[in-house]
């Protein structure tokens, strides 16, 4: 490991913490603003489309890749986006909030949807825990009910390894690895993902095929957790623990294959699958981004990260808002998963390695 002076280490740590502080969004941005009845605008799908897919989360970083894949591979499917912001590539945009159940019901009355895909994920940082529970669990339960009652045939749920608990050590865990008891989860976000996933999977029937895909460490450019590439150097804490990472484009392509399989083989439903990508450490990803951007990687001793976590945990004031402290805690626990079941079930081959994706996205 290169030798750094105490001044260099202290300066790097200060810059990192300052950037983390600046990145924390305002929780007020996620205040619910219901859509009044009588003011709905639900445009018709364009001519030439013969099926309807309603996407929730189409404007997220991952969602943009999903929409692009569907437009390319299913050109006759009308992609309806229900989101808080506009989806540039969707056929129809409905502005709304998943927590606004009455509005969601009216949307389903306007479109004879064949499938629903949910990839809803608010920013982790700065969000109060009740937002996670409402979005990931309560609203998901209502959405599943509405979709099923509306005659939707397929419900594809993008979940997360959070459903397995970020704070439980996972070394090549599989779908048959015992899941934590609900009372054992340490983070409301994690348990909300687990509960929402269970609602989706328990709704599976012969007429309503449901699948949940647990993903991890998504690399996709603007909006992903690796935007340290904007800094004058790439920080790294020499974290020895491995956490699976994947390219958003691979995930989007995989989801399309999953949906096609759900059409032909409904028996794949009622289950979750791990598709988490490659087994990479934090240092591995930092090195790749540094190489792509042509910037130095400053690798600080892992002990500094451990110290920051301990001090910040002691000094934490607000325990109801997700912070960078929670993200740091995730980084010190191995999260690797065996994806054999996913690949054997859906016969999917990713188009990019993580290295290829990083070079594609971040090459200076």
Residue 17 pLDDT greater than 80, yes or no: no
Contact 328, 305 (CB under 8 A): yes
Question: How far is Cα 200 from Cα 145, in angstroms, rounded to an integer?
Answer: 9
Cα Dmax for the chain? 66
Q: Which residues on adjacent β-strands are paired with residue 94?
A: 82
Q: Which residues on adjacent β-strands are paired with residue 208?
A: none
DSSP character at residue 333:
S
CATH topology of domain 48-222+245-277+337-351: Rossmann fold (3.40.50)
pLDDT in tens, 172-183: 999 999 999 999
Question: How far is Cα 335 from Cα 171, in angstroms, rounded to an integer?
Answer: 6
| Contacts of 205 by beta carbon, 8 Å cutoff, 6+ apart | none
Structural domain spans, the chain: 48-222+245-277+337-351
pLDDT score recorded for residue 314: 79
| pLDDT bracket for residue 3 (50, 70, 90) | low
Cβ atoms within 10 A of the Cβ of 97, count?
20
| Contacts of 55 by beta carbon, 8 Å cutoff, 6+ apart | 63, 66, 67, 70, 79, 80, 81, 82, 83, 87, 90, 116, 117, 118, 119
Instruction: Give the residue, 329 or 139, on which the prediction is more confident.
Output: 139
pLDDT in tens, 87-123: 999 999 999 999 999 999 999 999 999 999 999 877 6
Cβ atoms within 10 A of the Cβ of 240, count?
11
């Amino acid at each position: 490991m290169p030798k750094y002076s105490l001044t260099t280490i202290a300066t790097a740590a200060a810059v990192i913490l300052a950037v983390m502080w600046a990145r924390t969004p305002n929780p007020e941005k996620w205040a619910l603003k219901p859509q009044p009845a009588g003011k709905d605008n639900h445009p018709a799908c364009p001519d030439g489309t013969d099926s309807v897919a309603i996407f929730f989360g189409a404007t997220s970083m991952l969602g943009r890749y999903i929409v692009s894949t569907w437009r390319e591979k299913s050109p006759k499917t009308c992609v309806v986006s229900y989101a808080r912001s506009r989806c540039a590539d969707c056929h129809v945009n409905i502005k709304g909030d998943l927590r606004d159940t009455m509005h969601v019901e009216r949307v389903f009355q306007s479109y004879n949807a064949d499938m629903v895909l949910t990839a809803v994920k608010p920013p982790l940082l700065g969000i109060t825990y009740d937002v996670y529970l409402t979005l990931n669990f309560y609203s998901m339960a209502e959405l599943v009910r509405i979709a099923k009652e509306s005659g939707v045939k397929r419900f594809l749920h993008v979940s997360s390894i959070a459903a397995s608990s970020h704070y439980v050590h996972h070394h090549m865990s599989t779908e048959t690895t015992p899941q934590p008891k609900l009372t054992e989860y340490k983070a409301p976000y994690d348990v909300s993902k687990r509960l929402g996933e269970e609602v989706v999977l328990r709704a599976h029937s012969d007429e309503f095929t449901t699948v949940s895909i647990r993903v991890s460490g998504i690399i996709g450019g603007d909006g992903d957790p690796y935007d340290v590439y904007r800094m004058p150097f790439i920080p790294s804490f020499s974290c020895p623990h491995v956490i699976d990472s994947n390219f958003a484009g691979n995930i989007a392509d995989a989801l399309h294959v999953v949906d096609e399989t759900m059409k032909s083989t409904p028996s794949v439903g009622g289950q979750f699958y791990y598709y988490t990508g490659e087994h990479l450490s934090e240092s591995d990803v930092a090195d790749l981004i540094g190489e792509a951007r042509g910037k130095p990687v400053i690798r600080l001793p892992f002990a500094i990260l451990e110290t920051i976590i301990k001090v910040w945990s002691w000094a934490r004031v607000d325990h109801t808002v997700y912070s960078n402290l929670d993200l740091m805690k995730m980084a010190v626990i191995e999260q690797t998963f065996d994806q054999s079941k996913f690949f054997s079930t859906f016969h999917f081959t990713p188009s990019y390695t993580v290295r290829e994706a990083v070079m594609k996205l971040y090459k200076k």
